[in-house]
Structures are given as structure tokens and as C-alpha cells.
Amino acid sequence: MSSEKDRPIFIKRVVGKGAKGHHGGAWKLAYADFMTAMMAFFLLMWLLSSTSPVQRRGIAEYFNMPLKAAMVGGKTVGMDSSIITGGGRDISSPDPGTTRMTDARTPRNEVDEEALRQATTELERREQVRLHDLQVKLMAAIEANPTLQQFKQQIRIESTQQGLRIEIVDTQKRPMFALSSDSVQPYMRDILREIGRTLNDVPNRIVVQGHTDAVKYAGGEKGYSNWELSADRANASRRELIAGGMDEAKVLRVLGLASTQNLNKQNPLDPENRRISVIVLNQRSEAAMLREDGTRGAVFDNAPARADAAPLFNRLAN
């Protein structure tokens, strides 16, 4: 009897069919980790796309250098021939101002020139994108304006080596100016003022050119000729661009070219040879014109930029 009293008693409880166990929230943590990783990945891709090739190369070199070598020196950060292992100027050289060589035995000035070339290429690429956006915006403005849309066949926009060229071409049925005059026709005024408003979207400067056909005046070169007429029409176009809201300081040159640059070279008397050209200069062309005038130094060449070239780089980088 005593042995039966000492026997343990087990109580069995049956859980009802309606109750269900708790499954846990481990999947939520895994999903949150996945979303965090994806956000970090896309953030990294965005940051890499917004950096220049020079910056990306610098970041790669930073991570490729071992931490121990960076702290204690070695072949990765200095030359074996140097008295002091590590970076900095090679003080073993007797010549003053001599700088150490890189691991690839490339002089520092060549590295600087290569960096300058890459920076110049990147700046020119950005400028091409900006001028292309300007072209798209001008075409969209013409399409959106019912008054200008009927004259779009006379408006030609194309990219050239100088930049973006906008031409308003004359026709026999729809002249841009009064006959033998610089008086602007109303539709031509609307076109120029719309262009003037849009040109303020880019920092580039412009050149306004006037062209005529080869029809000569009775007085010839001794009196009022196509040279004076083309220059007067170009200047009248400049005034309309400014009246449309363009900054007056954007104008670099106003030229009258008479009939020296005909569109239809086979027929110098063709009415389409009478036209106004507005050239939005790229930085290379602007620097070349300023260099010809002797007002500024060269910027876009293979030589290191001079101190007076810095403002042009700053304008383009913004």
C-alpha cells in the first residue's frame, strides 16, 4: 500500500480543437532585414551614379589600400629608395621641390594632367546634356504655343561643334523683316521673345548672327549694303531676345555676315538664305572666342588650367 501512495500522479489536459498555437514573428524580422539591405543597395547605386570617374577612382584606391600598410608604411604607400618609408616628398633627393613617384612610376604632374582631362570630359558631358535639354524645351515651347506652331517649319534647332544653333529662316511668303529693313515682323518678334525667355535656363553665352541673300543694293558697297543690313537685323533680334526676358550679359557677339554663309549654296538668291542664327556657345567655343579677344586664358586644352580659367570651370560645374 505504501508503494502505491508514493507513485507519482500525472494529470493530462486536452486542448480544445478551436484553440491554435502561436506561430511566432521570425519571418517579419527576416523581411525587415531584406528590405533594409535592398534600400542600402539602391542608395549605394544612387551615390555611385552621382559621382564622377575621378571620385570613383579615388574611392576604389582608398579601399584597395590595406589598413596596416597605410598605418605603418610599405611599398603600397612609398618607395623603397626613400629614407622614410611611407608617403610624402622623397627627402633623399638632392633637388629641391622634387616629389616622390607613385607606385606605377608615374610623375605627379602626369597624374594631375590625367585628372584634368577626365574632369574636362565630365564637364563637357554635363554641358551636352544641358544643351540637349534646352533643345527639347525649345521644341516643346514651340509645339505648345499655337502662334509659334504654325511657323515651326521656319525654326531649325541643331547641335554643332560650337554648341546649340537656333535658326529662324526667311521664306518668300513669310518674311521675318520688312523689305530692305531691320523692322521685325510681329510673328518673328514672338519667336525671338519665346527663345529669349528659355535661354536664361542655361548659363551659356550666345552669339547672334544676321544673314542675307546675295541680292545687292543699287548703291553697292559704297552705300548701305547687305553687310549693314545683316548687322542691323542681328542687332534688332538681340533687342527682341532681351525684351523677352533674356539677360543682356549673355550676348557675347552680334555679327552681320551678309551672304557669306548661304544655306543654299547652289542658289545664293534663295529666300531661305535670309535668316537669323542664335548660337548657344559651349564652353570650349566661348573660351576660344575670349582667347582670340585676349580677355581670358585657354581652358579646354591639354595643359594645366591657369588661375584665370577657374571661373569657367566653376560655372560649368554648377
pLDDT mean across residues, the chain: 74
- Parent domain of 160: 119-301+309-317
Confidence of residue 260 (pLDDT cuts 50, 70, 90): very high
Q: Which helix (H) or strand (E) holds 2?
A: helix 2-5
| Grid cell listed for 285 | 567655343
Query: What is the average per-residue pLDDT within 192-221?
Result: 84
**CB of 278 closer than 8 Å to CB of 195:** yes
Residue 13 counted as domain residue: no
- Predicted pLDDT at 167: 92
- Predicted pLDDT at 66: 54
CB atoms within 10 A of CB 316: 20
**CB of 262 closer than 8 Å to CB of 270:** yes
Residue 172 counted as domain residue: yes
Residue 195 counted as domain residue: yes
Query: What is the average per-residue pLDDT within 298-302?
Result: 38
Instruction: Output phi, psi for 179, to 5 deg.
Output: -55, 125
Residue 103 counted as domain residue: no
From 18-32, 79-93, 153-167, 212-226, the region with the lowest mean pLDDT: 79-93
Query: Cα torsion for 258, 241, 197, 278, to the nearest 10°?
Result: 10
Does residue 81 surpass a pLDDT of 50?
A: no
Helix (H, G, I), strand (E, B) or coil at 195: helix
Burial of 194 (0-12, 13-18, 19+ CB in 10 A): buried
As for how many domains the chain has, the answer is 1
Distance of CA 145 to the CA centre of its chain: 27
For the entire predicted model, the pTM comes to 0.54
**CB of 241 closer than 8 Å to CB of 278:** yes
Q: Residue 251: give its domain's CATH number.
A: 3.30.1330.60
**CB of 197 closer than 8 Å to CB of 140:** no
**CB of 294 closer than 8 Å to CB of 303:** no
Distance of alpha carbon 141 from alpha carbon 151, whole angstroms: 12
Contacts of 162 (CB under 8 A, 6+ apart): 279, 281, 282, 285
Helix (H, G, I), strand (E, B) or coil at 157: strand
Q: According to the per-residue pLDDT averaged within each range, which of 61-75, 137-151, 288-302, 304-318 is highest?
A: 137-151
Residue 72 counted as domain residue: no
Query: What is the average per-residue pLDDT within 124-139?
Result: 78
Does residue 311 surpass a pLDDT of 70?
A: no
Confidence of residue 26 (pLDDT cuts 50, 70, 90): confident
Residue 88 counted as domain residue: no
Residue 287 counted as domain residue: yes
Residue 144 counted as domain residue: yes
